[in-house]
Amino acid sequence: MDDLIKQITEKTGISMDQAKGAIEQVMNFLGDKLPGPIASQVKGFLGDDDGGDDGGDEGGGLMGKLGGLLGN
Q: Kindly report whether the global pTM for this prediction surpasses the value 0.85.
A: no
| Whole-number Å distance between alpha carbons of 58 and 32 | 22
Half-sphere exposure of 28 (CA within 13 A, CB side): 6
- Domain total of the chain: 1
**Domain extent at residue 63:** 2-69
Give pLDDT tens digits for 25-64: 988 888 888 888 888 888 787 764 443 443 444 445 555 5
pLDDT at 23 over 70: yes
